[in-house]
Every structure is written in structure tokens, then in C-alpha cells.
Amino acid sequence: MFRKKSEEQEAEVVTAKPPKMPDPDVRKRNVSVIGPTLRFKGELSANEDLVIEGQIEGTIAHQDKNLTIGKEGRVRADIHAKIVEILGQVEGDVRGDEIVRLHKTAAVIGNIYSPRIVMEDGANFSGMVDMGTKKNSAMETSPSNMTVKKEALKRANLNFAGSTTQANTGGS
């Protein structure tokens, strides 16, 4: 019962490898999350990637970073980011310097400006797409463009306070 450990057993204890520590580069990028219970009004900008699950109203500027609007995200803002991924609802213009992705749960009312666009089957979109390399600010503020945006807003029925999404992307 109180026997002395053999030298072999002691050697195993001494030579046992310590538990593997997590790689210090596990978090290679900084990501901030705006949770589903948070509401924000104003201008939002940061120097890290951002995931929005809450409600945002205003402008979002992440020119050099990635922006994800999660399934619970409700955004009424003009967006500018390097890469934009939308799974929730957005009302406003979306600018992606590299790409804009609309997932099947996305509902977007506004114009998209990006050299590359991916739109999954089931995504709702009402607006105009400009895939040119330079934005056309004259077109952005033209009376005809404002009319198109107002008509799209009238046709669409998006509930930004709730979790249901209904959009009419067809005519009349």
C-alpha cells in the first residue's frame, strides 16, 4: 500500500510532456461583435473586423476591414468595408472594396457598389448594382437614383425591429 515508486515510474513523471499550450497566433485577427441586444445610432468605425448582430442606424466605415451583418443584424446605414458579408437586414448603400456577399438569409434595400458580388439563392435584394472600379458620386445623388431607392423602400416590407424578413423584389 505504501510502496516506494520504482525509478521507472518516477522517470515517467519527470519526463512527461506539459499540456500543449494554445498557439499564440490562434487569434490572428481582431474581431469585435455587436451583440443582438445592442442598439447603436451614429457613425461607427474601427480598425478591426466587425460582426453586427444588433441594430445599427447611421454610417459604418470599415474601409480596410471586413464587416459581417449576422442573421440577427438589422442595419439602417450606408456601409463601406473591404469585404461585406450580409446574412441579416440592411437598408442603405453597401460598398465593398473587394467583394459583397449576400447570403440566403440576407435582405438588402439599397445599392451595391463592388467589383465582385455573390448572391446566394434565397437572398432578397432591391436596388442597383455597380461593379465599376470607381464610384460615380453623380449617379449616387441623381434624382432618378433617389426615385429608384424610394420606390424600392415602398415595395419592400422589412421589419427591422423583429426577426422576420419579407421583401418584394418583383414589380408591381
Q: Is residue 159 part of a domain?
A: yes
Task: Give pLDDT, residue 101.
Answer: 98
Q: Is residue 3 part of a domain?
A: no
Task: Give pLDDT, residue 156.
Answer: 53
Backbone angles phi, psi at 39, to 5 degrees: -125, 140
Q: Is residue 15 part of a domain?
A: no
| Residue-by-residue pLDDT tens, the chain, 172 positions | 555 555 555 555 555 555 444 444 434 557 889 999 999 999 988 888 999 999 999 999 887 889 999 999 999 999 999 999 999 999 999 999 999 999 999 999 999 999 999 999 999 999 999 998 554 444 444 455 555 555 655 555 554 444 334 444 444 4
Task: Give pLDDT, residue 153.
Answer: 55
Q: Is residue 73 part of a domain?
A: yes
Q: How many domains does the structure of the chain reveal?
A: 1
Q: Is residue 113 part of a domain?
A: yes
Domain housing 90: 30-166
Q: Is residue 11 part of a domain?
A: no
CA distances (Å), 109 to each of 116, 117, 150, in order? 18, 15, 10
Task: Give pLDDT, residue 29.
Answer: 57
Q: Is residue 22 part of a domain?
A: no
Q: Is residue 25 part of a domain?
A: no
